[in-house]
Structure 1
Amino acid sequence: MNKKRFVGLVCSLVMTAGTIAGCADSNGTPQGAQAVPDNTPLEITIATPQVGEAPKKDSDIELAIEKYTSAKVDIQWIPTAAFEDKKNIMIASNEMPKAFKLTYNATTLNAIEAGLFWEIGPYLKDYKNLSAANPMYYDNIKVGGKLYGLPLYRDIGRAGIIYRKDWFNDLGLKTPVTLDDWYNIMKTVSEKDPDKNGQADTYGMFLDKSYNDAALSNSFLTRLSVPFGAPNKWGVENGKIVAEFMTKPYQDSMKLLKKMYQEKLINQDFSVVQTADADNKWNSGKAGIRINTVASAVATSFDNLAKSVPNAVVDIAPYMGTSGNRVPAESGNNGFFVFPKSSVKTEAELKRVLGFFDKLLDPDMSTLLTRGTEGKHFTKASDGKAEFKDLTLFNLEVKPYRDSLPSFEVTGLGLPLKLNELQAKGWKVVEDNLKVVVPNMALTLTSKTYIDKGGELDTMIRDAQTKYIMGKTDDAGWEADLDRWKKAGGDKVMEEYTAEYAKLKK
């Protein structure tokens, strides 16, 4: 839908509702726009999904934010289950807050392409905190090569190998670098009875059905194959976008799983196992490697295991391969804030709103959003780092703001959190990963065919992979399934992604 038609529809809907709203003209310029005097307090309305119990109006955290930023803040907490419907109504009526948290989906893209929101990319250079963030945070939410939103920052390179160091030491194992290493670990842990109970009930890893989820950059097959040169979901070969499962490194990883399945070195029911069931295997001391989590959770993984196996020793290592330390980049956000032209009337007002968000990343605000208030939610340790005093109270009073406003967590701009040795190692892996993450080259590209048939195509290829690993098809059968995927729309998806990619490269 083009901009004139979309905006015309919006205005029509608004007038039908009997509401007068500041619709844009055909050039996307807000009508009746008036400058906001610089000497008046900024009034900023924010709409965001509710996280936990909605904080009370004028809470201590909200008042502290207002005092520091010299703004009057009005946050509309919308229950998560109702958010998409509410969002669509607000967009259709053009009655939106000044900062609107959205996610990357078809409705959002249509509204952005219709010109309802400000492009903010050219302004970021003027804000010290916003401009200092890794550019990938912004690249991952661009539309047509332009930036329209500020992300709720999340770690981009979270992959890590959490493993039973006591087992590895006893069995003479090292963390894997080659596919043969992975095979050797699976075989040794499965056959050498590392828990010494006399039963064949241990696994090198316990696979679950999300192992090849097309929507997850942290799916195991993607994490396994990227260090060997595979793309992260979608890559570029000879100027063309290709799917990961069409590449040799990915197919070699599939062949490894096939071999391990045939030799019963991985759980035979992996195609129906829930992630929670895989977690329980780790927690009960039956798995050598925990694959379905993030590096920063290594201390939690140890705590959960220690309840069943008090003497267990857990460690963390980066994913390595023949191409070195490479990990798939995740989206790096939990949604992003856009700024509607109907409510942010002028460029001057937009700059003030961006200034508000920039201030949220100042050390004092970053500490408030990620640690809470000193003496109430945290105390300072002897080394000056923060230690949570009342985590329950923090989760009730602070976490909703931390999860709904831009901030960085442990490696952020505020007061550092005191970490034990294992926690520090986990976060170090996350920090180091950021230097070697492999982006999903189609993350912000648009394919009409994928929008229309993506779910069907993803299911088709996931089922084909599972059949291959379980030995229900051979190499020829896999190639036949791949051809069927191409003919069903896969070729068209790659063609459309390639065309979009070529446009952005010009």
Structure 2
Amino acid sequence: MKKVKKRALVSTVVVSSMLFTVACSSGGESKAPAAGQQGQNQSQNQAPLDLSIAISQVGDIPSKGNPVEQAIEKFTNTKLDIQWIPSSAYNDKINVMLASNEMPKLLRVTQGPTIVNAIESQLFWEIGPYLKEYKNLSAQNPQFFENISVEGKLYGVPLYRNMGRGAVVYRKDWMDNLKLAYPKTVDEWYNVMKALTQNDPDKNGKNDTYGIILHKKYNEGAASMTTRFAVMLGGVNKWGVDKDGNFTPEYTTPEFMETLKLFRRLYAENLMNQDFAVLDAAEAEKWMDTGRVGFRFGVATNGKSQQDRLNKTNPSAVIDVASFEGPKGIRIASENGNNGFFVIPKSSVKTEAEMKRVLGFLDKLMEPEMSTLLLRGIEGTHFGNTADGKTEFIGDGFNIFQREVKPYRDNLTVLEGYNVKPLKDVPIGEKGTKMESDGIKYIVSNPALTLKSPTYSERGQELDLQMMDAQTKFIMGKIDEAGYQEEVNKWKKNGGDKVMAEYKAAYQKLKK
């Protein structure tokens, strides 16, 4: 994990000072300081903590007092009062709670202007200085916490999600048929894409395949195809920052331009779909499901589900997954690392002692007993142990797990691969799960993720759209490199220069 520690992160100095006892491993043992451990042991001798929680409803609401909830209460010494709020109404409900300052003791939120304003209004406990007292929370990679920090301070515990999940899902049987090696350079990617389009990789005698296709959201969001590809080539994740704090957007970097040039060439030579600017993402997925495309960008665990879908129509098809590996080795554009995070409102948790007990609850959820419960279910009901030290779902255990355990798993602090035995699966399933856990060693983070830019808050969507449109025009040959540079210059004049300056100021403020 030393590679992770050495990367330049926005608030490394600040957050690392909070987590000076953190072990960067997601699965290793980590001992908490004696005082913190004593505090947790003492809580077991206290009366159960009445703990109200507001979380998002996932599927049907579990019945009150069900075996899973009872097991959580017993192990954590709590009496839970969970408010399940439908996802469609969740943000509105949270806004009402914030406005009235009437909140439960644990509130699941997502980062955005409303929550940042609430944090800056001191509605929630700052928990960073306390994390070192909790062995499981402090054992997680510091990047999880940096990604939800506000001006270098920490006010929540993330609902952890693997940050290095990104991977390439591809038709290994097609590659084998044409005796092609997995591509790692731009030229190799071009040659493989050309071969999979023109050389009949499925051997059906028809010209009906592509190596890769794009859809209309190919360059949107944290997991955009262009970002993932440029990072693989050695580029930045959305933004780059130099030693002086100067910020550079990805679309002005050489690696990003190499990516655009590759797709421009594929488009010009009819080696990719010509309708990408209007093709829905869902329709794009069907191309691979029906055996018409060889490569897609996704996450490592997509390999198993892709294999299952494809085999319904083609039992002999073989799917594999690979990391984003380029000339500089494996480099994965980091995802945010959370599905929201828990804050502890001061209006409902009034003392430091109670706040520490609430943190203790979240920490205990990551103990082996709770990690196993939330990630595998109840032994004998949902899963069993195997002779080779793994776990497996038994009978109809997986479907029962989806109803009875998944609502808790998706809303509480657990992380696949930490304090839980591996899940026995088909080889591609096990490979994908391991890749997603191991991927954190290769992540490239977005240094601007938690920085404040008033200009971007006000006009970011407009600025992003301008450059996304420019990228599409360039790929389609409607503008050349000079025209693309004109769009970059226009972006700077329309507010991009201000965004870069504001990020620099926010970054340098954190480093002081």
In the other structure, the counterpart of 1:51 is: 58
In the other structure, the counterpart of 1:150 is: 157
In the other structure, the counterpart of 2:325 is: 320
Answer yes or no: is the 8 Å Cα contact 2:473–2:479 preserved in 1. Answer: yes
CA distance in 2, matches of 1:37, 1:158: 37
1:383 shift after superposition: 2.4
1:92 shift after superposition: 1.0
Runs of 4+ in structure 1 deviating by more than 4 angstroms, as ranges, are none
In the other structure, the counterpart of 2:7 is: none
Match of 2:448 among 442, 447, 451: 442
> Amino acid of the residue matched to residue 304 of structure 2?
A
> For 1:150-180, what per-residue CA distance to the aligned partner results, in whole angstroms no more than 9, with x for missing partners?
0000010011121111111111211111000
In the other structure, the counterpart of 2:116 is: 109
The SS at the match of 1:160 is strand
Match of 2:307 among 299, 302, 309: 302
Match of 2:200 among 171, 193, 206: 193
In the other structure, the counterpart of 2:368 is: 363
CA distance in 1, matches of 2:147, 2:315: 42
How many residue pairs match? The answer is 467
CA distance in 2, matches of 1:313, 1:270: 26
In the other structure, the counterpart of 1:333 is: 338
CA distance in 2, matches of 1:196, 1:294: 28
Answer yes or no: is the 8 Å Cα contact 2:44–2:77 preserved in 1. Answer: no
Structure 1 residue 209 and structure 2 residue 216: aligned?
A: yes
> Amino acid of the residue matched to residue 359 of structure 1?
K
Identity, % of aligned pairs? 53
1:420 shift after superposition: 2.1
> For 1:315-336, what per-residue CA distance to the aligned partner results, in whole angstroms no more than 9, with x for missing partners?
1211111222111110000000
Answer yes or no: is the 8 Å Cα contact 2:331–2:442 preserved in 1. Answer: yes
CA distance in 2, matches of 1:416, 1:427: 9
Aligned alpha-carbon RMSD (Å):
1.4
> For 1:186-219, what per-residue CA distance to the aligned partner results, in whole angstroms no more than 9, with x for missing partners?
1000000111222211010121122110x22x21
Please give the residue correspondences for 1:363-402 in structure 2 after superposition, counting only pairs within 5 Å: 363-389=368-394, 390-402=397-409
CA distance in 2, matches of 1:65, 1:431: 25
Please give the residue correspondences for 1:32-431 in structure 2 after superposition, counting only pairs within 5 Å: 39-213=46-220, 215-216=221-222, 218-237=223-242, 238-291=244-297, 293-389=298-394, 390-409=397-416, 411-431=417-437
> Amino acid of the residue matched to residue 415 of structure 1?
K
1:380 shift after superposition: 2.2
In the other structure, the counterpart of 1:492 is: 498
The SS at the match of 1:229 is coil
The SS at the match of 2:136 is helix
CA distance in 2, matches of 1:376, 1:239: 54
TM-score (normalizing by structure 2): 0.89
In the other structure, the counterpart of 2:486 is: 480
CA distance in 1, matches of 2:66, 2:45: 26
Answer yes or no: is the 8 Å Cα contact 2:73–2:79 preserved in 1. Answer: yes
> Amino acid of the residue matched to residue 248 of structure 1?
P
> Amino acid of the residue matched to residue 402 of structure 2?
N
> Amino acid of the residue matched to residue 167 of structure 1?
W
Answer yes or no: is the 8 Å Cα contact 2:390–2:422 preserved in 1. Answer: yes
* Greater CA drift, 101-110 or 188-197: 188-197
Answer yes or no: is the 8 Å Cα contact 2:52–2:83 preserved in 1. Answer: yes
Unaligned runs of 5+ in 1: 1-35
TM-score (normalizing by structure 1): 0.90
> Amino acid of the residue matched to residue 198 of structure 1?
G
> For 1:94-135, what per-residue CA distance to the aligned partner results, in whole angstroms no more than 9, with x for missing partners?
101111000001100000011110110111111110010111
> For 1:14-72, what per-residue CA distance to the aligned partner results, in whole angstroms no more than 9, with x for missing partners?
xxxxxxxxxxxxxxxxxxxxxx9972211111001111111111111111100111111
